Amino acid sequence: MEWSRYNIIVQGNKEDVIIYNSFSNALIVLKNNEFHKYQTKLPTTGTLVENGIIVHNQKEQDLLLKYRFTKYKFNNRIPTFYIAPTMDCNLSCFYCFEGNNKKKEYISNETENNIIQYIKSFHNNRIYIIWFGGEPTLNINPIVRIYNELRNSGIEIESSMITNGTLLSTSNLRKLVSINLKHIQITIDGTKEQHDKRRFYKNGKGTFDSIISNITTLIRETNINLTIQVTTDKNNVYAYSDICALMNEQFGKEIMQERITVGVNFVQNRTDDPILAQCTFNSQKKANFYLENHLKADKKTQIEFLFPRLAGPCMYSSIDTIAVDSGGYLYKCIEHIGDISQSVGNINTKKIDNYKFVKAVLCTDPFEDKNCKHCNILPICGGGCPLDRIKRQEEGADINLCPMYKGNIEKIIKRVYELQN
């Protein structure tokens, strides 16, 4: 028996020792005397063994972790498709990662039909679709047609939509209800004054009032669940708490029922934009953001944001997730959508670049990185963004792959312990 390499051990108060294991995501608190007893004589059964804190053999646990990651990559039980019916957008958000890739391109009948045939070729009777863009509600009729055609072919479809929320009229909402849409994600960047400076129409007019009005209509006329994502950088660090207050004031019942949830997205600089570089958080600043409670949130919410989660599958390195733009180009990451140079194929020409596809799945393995495979937070990190890993491998770019937990996990676990007590 031996202690797991994935243990993070922190002194709590004078009497407590906190043990967090990133492999099992378990947090155990022991009294000092218990901990010292286990230091001299390791148990062979019980809570510490059941939670992976004490293991029979470290190589076995490492192998199980590699198996878990590999299983994520090749699990194609429910294929997931990001589909953009248009790359056009009615807003001009300064931090949009699509940048110049947004263009007035709308899906053709040929592409629409080929998307249907492409999805059918997976021979799955259940699929998941995320309607994306551009702004998908600018071209909503093809969404309805694609859904109906697949549904009439006997395919069970669960779907959601990422939208800016400005076009969720009663008419459009009825169409979304008709395709059994279960969830919508909308971005709001703070109070009206703050939001309207960041998310505005192409004529410069703010979008806050339209979005709030449409959310009211959505709640009143549908059963669709809603996630509000607050896109955050150094210029709006308290936007999350402002939006939580607003949502509780106007939609308190739906917040209590968890029909409306509020989350945080950090602005990322994927295009080496000097303006974005000045306002984005690095991994250390993200950790400080949570540790110093810039969310201005209650204890339960702080714990939810702080407590690590086991690394899940990334669409880039998974064989069962793909994005399709309005021109029929296929992508392994939604951050590439619209950038034809990054496509892995096109459903209209029926050509797939097998090398690009395989490279996405197989060339981003953190277990091939000596620094990652021996790291005690690998199970919650997953090796970082695979796009950054490839950029570092191929271009020698000086990119930090590590998340906010690296160098901060002890502080984070200690803070969770303090909040729980």
Per-residue DSSP letter, 67: H
Mean pLDDT, range 367-379, rounded to an integer = 93
| Rounded CA separation 239/254 (Å) | 20
| Rounded CA separation 10/25 (Å) | 15
Residue-wise pLDDT for 292-315, tens only, equals 999 999 999 999 999 999 998 889
The number of C-alpha atoms within 13 Å of 106 and in the hemisphere containing its C-beta is 8
Residue-wise pLDDT for 58-71, tens only, equals 999 999 999 999 99
The set of residues, in sequence order, having a beta carbon less than 8 Å from that of 153 and lying 6+ positions away, is 120
Mean pLDDT, range 237-261, rounded to an integer = 96
Q: Please check whether residue 279 is in contact with residue 233, taking contact to mean a CB–CB distance below 8 angstroms.
A: yes
| Rounded CA separation 335/95 (Å) | 13
Residue-wise pLDDT for 136-159, tens only, equals 999 999 999 999 999 999 999 999
Q: What is the pLDDT of residue 421?
A: 85
The set of residues, in sequence order, having a beta carbon less than 8 Å from that of 298 and lying 6+ positions away, is none
Three-state secondary structure call for residue 81: strand
Three-state secondary structure call for residue 155: coil
Mean pLDDT, range 368-388, rounded to an integer = 93
Q: Please check whether residue 52 is in contact with residue 6, taking contact to mean a CB–CB distance below 8 angstroms.
A: yes
| Rounded CA separation 307/293 (Å) | 13
Global pTM value = 0.93
Residue 119 has pLDDT above 70, yes or no: yes
Q: At 243, give phi and psi (nearest 5°).
A: -70, -40
Residue-wise pLDDT for 32-41, tens only, equals 999 999 988 9
Angle at alpha carbon of residue 99, lines to 97 and 104, rounded to 5°: 125
Q: What is the pLDDT of residue 392?
A: 86
Three-state secondary structure call for residue 297: coil
3-state helix, strand, coil in the chain (%, to 5): 45, 20, 40
